[in-house]
Chain A
């Protein structure tokens, strides 16, 4: 499978995503400079974490205007898989590929730690090797992960089963204590209606090897590979 990892100026999890897809999962992985306009050679496009263009304005607000984003929108429209992690999700929101907006963490601090999320929808290309209600332990590292959407939008997300992950405790209970940033309903990841564009705050690429302290992130990559293999 061919993975394209987009590199915006200021991306800094590009290396990690490349390592996970390329080295850990042995797939073809390639960096894509943000000025590229043709992504048709890839089966899955990853928008990695980081601080694209410094994110001094609002996370992802500038990156959406990057030349590569036109191609990302195009490939998403063709049904290619697009995975936005952390800053990548923020960019997908700004680009309108996913609904809602990201606010600063409610405590106004950067937060880097391992958190539990509950898998809400295992019927997606990114989660198909898991099961609903499964609890995953994944690293988070962000200052703007406080997801927000209006009530109408929220109802829509719920109705369409677009909420893929929620922060939870180790037993899968969603609660205020289990929520590291104040995101609405503990939402930690959502998918588009077509089911091929996923945005998530936790970093699955940082949890793909035993030596890094956890392997729950493998589920995302294994699912992508299995789903793609079935196509």
Chain B
């Protein structure tokens, strides 16, 4: 009798694994025969959206990916960017949305595990983690459960690994009620000569599987991640993997030790689609083939069959291509770290992924069609019918509140603006002793020991903007991430991104996707920050309700001298407060409209990319000249919130006169979110130098007031508009999230 996993399959079985009829036809054409169950399973996961990018590939081609600083662009496990002195930074962001919605702790934890592996697979030492999290309204117990679970999961995994979690963002919006977003970013550091790629190189090289044993967990996880969530999704809990950060720590140290010893030809982690993707991608990239006997794979459970072994998404595993003479050293290093290392096969020349089970062939499929020549779709894009409606905004009908001090208080206590200490105090952000700007500033900064250099990093996306105008929102996401990095004094280098959208098969969603990518691409081009890789997470929707389009941007920048870094907090009484950039009457898409008027509409603020670039160059020049005491980007909540945050963090008051700014509605003046603006403070002795430099570089510059006392006072001429104790504002801002979480 034929074993179950060898039985030839039909179109119904293909459909049950998520393949569509044309894909089944394509599969028959590739193989020239019907697949058996194991082969069908392999194609189903590799041709899922999660692994093949079949609905997003075309749109992604818009991204600029080249530049003198880029050592490795998209296509590998992570992007690599040169930072001089033979060093490079390796980084990537990835989603773990679907699993986190079902099992928040493990979903988020394994998201961290996966992205960390992507970085050390390249041979880099992971030095920092960041994340971007989105949930529904915190007044709901379910949302608090998800939020608390995700934060605990990230903490549980990252803290144990000893990689500091140094930054991120958290947003709350009803569009995420049924589909939370959990994006994790990892940044690593490497010497150029250690760079390792996911390639099955060298005919006859041995394939060594190391790390955790293989279990039945996560089978078809990639397929699950490529469908919308629904009532049945809870039944998908077995598709969520369970993380073991201790195992990952051992794996990390063992792999880096092997890289140091130059014992590895190629390396690839087993993430989505497990051994299937690792083996076929390594072969496809190298133009080689692989032959594995999966009966040799150490399993956690008895009698696992080849189908299960090839599809398992058990965490903390790595596949290495190793020259035969290096095998003993590799196995000895595994043993030192208490890891199982197993020689499961070899690199061949025939371009095939040949899977054996106790010597018998159980699957034989060509690597390239499986790994990189999957179906590609060109979905229909159509502007959503509601788009024009939500962008229309009649400001005249919206009254300006009387008590603007109270409005500032409400904004500071809005969970989207409030301090995120409740989150980041659960993350070890100072382990490894390199975090020199802690969470809470616009960008985190790490020093690079043995050099004067520093790395700045930030994760950003205002998805309300993208919802209202995908193009502009996409561009702003890139611009803001770069601006945050520039505020720290660093020159933005390159981005990674995580595109979280609904189902691309709906024309309105595909419209959002292509327009957002186009906007991001334009900003990347203008700001000189190419895309080095990333991840696409589609089908973030439930019952036809998609999340706000959320193209999260992870940006990395370089400080030539880390001692010249700049932070958010006001530092010194008597310092002059100035605003860089122009303030327009722009309230569309603002947090103010949402919090005070319960409106999510209007056009998001305009973005002039040339002005943005000038602003960022100025920020870097000002930092290099050590001319600034602080710098803080005006984002959600506008100028008033930016000033308040710098005051709160510095524990200092301010006295500001807004008269030099253009006259407009007071709410727009205070809380409008005009782009390309930064609040800076500086010693009076530096004033003329800063003014001159701003003028020379073509950046609008106005002096607004001074740092003084312990009261925040914003006025216009003789009129006081906002007046509050900084201490009481601080209490609102610091306490808001904790208050929600322990009602």
- For B449, the chain A residues whose CB sits under 8 A away are 19, 23
Residues 3 to 50 of chain A near chain B (Cβ within 8 Å): 9-13, 15-16, 19-20, 23, 49-50
A109 contacts the other chain (CB 8 A): yes
For residue A9, which residues in chain B have a CB less than 8 angstroms away from its CB?
246, 249-250, 337-338
| Contact across chains for B433 and A19 when beta carbons are under 8 A apart | yes
Is B427 interfacial (CB-CB < 8 Å)? yes
Neighbour of A51 across the interface among B249, B337, B424, B433, CB < 8 A: B249
Which of B156, B246, B427, B447 has a CB less than 8 Å from the CB of A10? B246
Residues of A within 8 A of B244 (CB): 54
Query: Are B431 and A141 neighbours in the complex by a CB distance under 8 Å?
Result: yes
Residues on the B chain within 8 Å of A23, using CB: 449
Judge whether B425 and A15 touch: CB under 8 Å: no
Q: How far is the CA of A110 from the CA of B155 in the complex (A)?
A: 7
0/1 interface trace, chain A 47-85, chain B, CB 8 Å (1 if under): 001110111100000000000000000000000000000
Taking a contact as CB atoms under 8 Å apart, the answer to whether B245 and A12 are in contact is: no
- Nearest B residue to A112, CB-CB: B428
> B426: which A residues are within 8 A, CB to CB?
109-112
Task: From A120-128, A151-159, A206-214, give the one contacting chain B.
Answer: A206-214
Residues B337 and A54 in contact, CB atoms below 8 Å apart: no
| Contact between chains at B433 and A56 (CB < 8 Å) | no
Q: Contacts A56-B246, A211-B436 given: A51-B430 contact, CB under 8 Å?
A: no
The answer to whether B436 and A51 touch across the interface, beta carbons within 8 angstroms, is: no
Contacts of A110 in B (CB 8 A): 155-156, 159, 426-428
Asked whether A54 lies within 8 Å of B160 as measured between CB atoms, the reply is: yes
- If A9-B338, A10-B249, A211-B447 touch, does A50 touch B162 (CB 8 Å cutoff)? yes
CB neighbors of A among B144-190 (8 A): 152, 155-156, 159-162
Q: Which of B536-595 contact A (CB under 8 A)?
A: 562-563
CB distance from A110 to the nearest CB of B (A): 5
Assess the A206–B246 pair: CB atoms within 8 A. Answer: no
CA distance A112 to B161 in the complex (A): 15
Q: Mark A108-143, 1 if CB is under 8 A from B, else 0.
A: 011111000000000000000000000000010101
Distance A49 CA – B159 CA, assembled complex (angstroms): 11
Given contacts A10-B160, A211-B447, A211-B562, contact A15 B246 (CB under 8 A): no
B117 CB within 8 Å of chain A: no
Q: Which of A12, A212, A213 contacts B249 (CB 8 A)?
A: A12
Q: Does B432 contact A (CB under 8 A)?
A: yes
Name the CB-closest residue of A to B337: A9
A206 and B429 CA atoms in complex are apart in Å by 11
Asked whether B438 lies within 8 Å of A213 as measured between CB atoms, the reply is yes
A51 touches B432 (CB 8 A): no
Within 8 A of A (CB), among B246-291: 246-247, 249-250
Q: Which residue of A lies closest to B454 (CB)?
A: A211
Q: Which residues of B contact A12 (CB under 8 A)?
A: 160-162, 249, 431-432
Docked CA distance A13–B52 (Å): 39
A94 at the interface (CB under 8 A from B): no
Known contacts A10-B160, A141-B159; A212/B246 CB under 8 A: no
Contact in complex: B160, A141 (CB < 8 Å):
no
Distance of A206 from chain B, by nearest CB (Å) = 5
Q: Mark out the residues of chain A between 199 and 221 whose CB falls within 8 Å of any chain B CB in the assembled complex.
A: 203, 205-206, 209, 211-213
The residue of chain B having its C-beta at the shortest distance from the C-beta of A205 within the complex is B433
Q: How far is the CB of A223 from chain B (nearest CB, A)?
A: 20
Q: How far is the CB of A14 from chain B (nearest CB, A)?
A: 9
Q: Which residue of the partner chain B has the closest CB to A16?
A: B433
CA–CA, A139 and B431, complex, Å: 10
* C-alpha gap A54/B428 in the complex (Å): 16
In the complex the two chains form, is A51's CB within 8 Å of B431's CB? no
Contacts of B430 in A (CB 8 A): 112, 139, 141, 203, 206, 212
- Per the bound structure, the CA–CA distance linking A104 and B247 in Å amounts to 22
Known contacts A15-B433, A211-B562, A211-B563; A51/B425 CB under 8 A = no
- B246: chain A residues at CB < 8 Å are 9-10, 51, 53-56
Complex Cα distance A5/B610, Å? 52
Q: What's the nearest-Cβ distance from chain A to residue B186, in Å?
A: 15
**How far, in whole Å, are A211 and B159 apart by their CA atoms in the complex?**
22
User: Smallest distance from the beta carbon of A27 to chain B beta carbons, Å?
Assistant: 16
Q: Do residues B245 and A111 form an inter-chain contact, with CB atoms below 8 A?
A: no
A200 shortest CB reach to chain B, Å: 16
Q: How far is the CA of A20 from the CA of B161 in the complex (A)?
A: 20
Among residues of B, the one whose C-beta sits closest to the C-beta of A180 is B425
Residue in B161, B249, B425 whose beta carbon sits within 8 Å of that of A111 in the complex: B425
Q: Which chain A residue lies CB-closest to B165?
A: A112
Q: Which residues of B contact A51 (CB under 8 A)?
A: 159-160, 162, 245-246, 249
Contacts of B562 in A (CB 8 A): 211
Q: How far is the CA of A15 from the CA of B428 in the complex (A)?
A: 15
Give the complex CA separation of A15 and B249 in angstroms.
14
Q: Do A113 and B250 touch across chains, with their CB atoms under 8 A apart? A: no
Could you tell me the distance in whole angstroms from the C-beta of A3 to the nearest C-beta in chain B? 16
A70 and B247 CA atoms in complex are apart in Å by: 25
Closest to B244 in A: A54
B433: contacting residue among A50, A55, A111, A206, CB under 8 A: A206
> In the complex, what residue of chain B is closest to A11 when comparing beta carbons?
B162
A50 surroundings in chain B (CB, below 8 A): 162
User: Using a CB-CB cutoff of 8 Å, which residues 689-730 of chain B contact chain A?
Assistant: none
**Residues of A with C-beta under 8 A to B245:** 51, 54
In the bound assembly, the distance between CA atoms of A111 and B421 in angstroms comes to 10
Contacts of B338 in A (CB 8 A): 9
**A212 engages B428 (CB within 8 Å):** no
Contacts of B161 in A (CB 8 A): 12
Given contacts A10-B249, A12-B249, A51-B246, is CB(A212)–CB(B429) below 8 Å?
Answer: no
In the assembled complex, the CB of B446 is this many whole angstroms from the nearest CB of chain A, namely 11
Which residues of chain B come closer than 8 Å to A109, judged between CB atoms? 152, 155, 426
Q: Give Cα A110 to B244, complex, Å.
A: 17
Chain A residues, CB < 8 A from B247: 54
A13, A53, A112: the one within 8 Å of B162 (CB): A13
Q: Complex formed: what's the CA distance from A211 to B430 in Å?
A: 12
CB distance from B42 to the nearest CB of A (A): 32
Instruction: Quote the shortest CB–CB distance from A72 to chain B (angstroms).
Output: 20
User: How far is A11 from B159 in the complex, measured between Cα atoms in Å?
Assistant: 11
By a CB distance below 8 angstroms, the chain A residues around B424 are 112
A171-211 vs B, Cβ < 8 Å mask (1 yes, 0 no): 00000000000000000000000000000000101100101
Name the distance in Å between B24's Cβ and chain A's nearest Cβ: 44
B435: chain A residues at CB < 8 Å are 212
Q: Which of B396-442 contact A (CB under 8 A)?
A: 424-433, 435-436, 438
Could you tell me the distance in whole angstroms from the C-beta of B145 to the nearest C-beta in chain A?
Answer: 15
| Chain B window 597-628, contacts with chain A (Cβ cutoff 8 Å), 1 for yes, 0 for no | 00000000000000000000000000000000
Contact A112 B427 (CB under 8 A): yes
Chain B 373-417: CB-based contact to A (< 8 A → 1; otherwise 0): 000000000000000000000000000000000000000000000
Q: CB-CB < 8 A to A15: which residues of B? A: 432-433
Chain B 331-351 against A: per-residue CB contact (8 Å), 1 yes, 0 no?
000000110000000000000
Rounded to whole Å, the gap between the CB of B556 and the closest CB of chain A is 20
Least CB distance from B212 to A in Å reads 12
Please measure, in the bound complex, the distance between the C-alpha atom of A29 and the C-alpha atom of B185, giving whole angstroms.
33
A41 to B304, CA, bound (A): 50
Give the CA-CA distance A19 to B447 in the complex, in Å: 14
Question: Nearest A residue to B422 by beta-carbon distance?
Answer: A109
* Closest chain A CB from B199 CB (angstroms): 29
With beta carbons under 8 angstroms apart, the residue of A53, A54, A112 that contacts B425 is: A112
A104 to chain B, nearest CB (A): 13
Bound Cα distance A49, B161 (Å) = 12
Q: How far is the CA of A32 from the CA of B435 in the complex (A)?
A: 26
In this complex, what residue of A is CB-closest to B435? A212
8 A-B pairs, CB-CB below 8 angstroms? A9-B337, A10-B160, A20-B433, A23-B449, A112-B426, A112-B429, A203-B430, A205-B433
Interface pairs A-B: 6 shortest CB-CB? A12-B162, A54-B246, A16-B433, A51-B160, A141-B428, A112-B428
User: Besides the contacts A12-B432, A111-B426, A112-B424, what 7 more A-B pairs have beta carbons closer than 8 Å?
Assistant: A9-B337, A10-B160, A10-B249, A16-B432, A141-B430, A141-B431, A206-B430
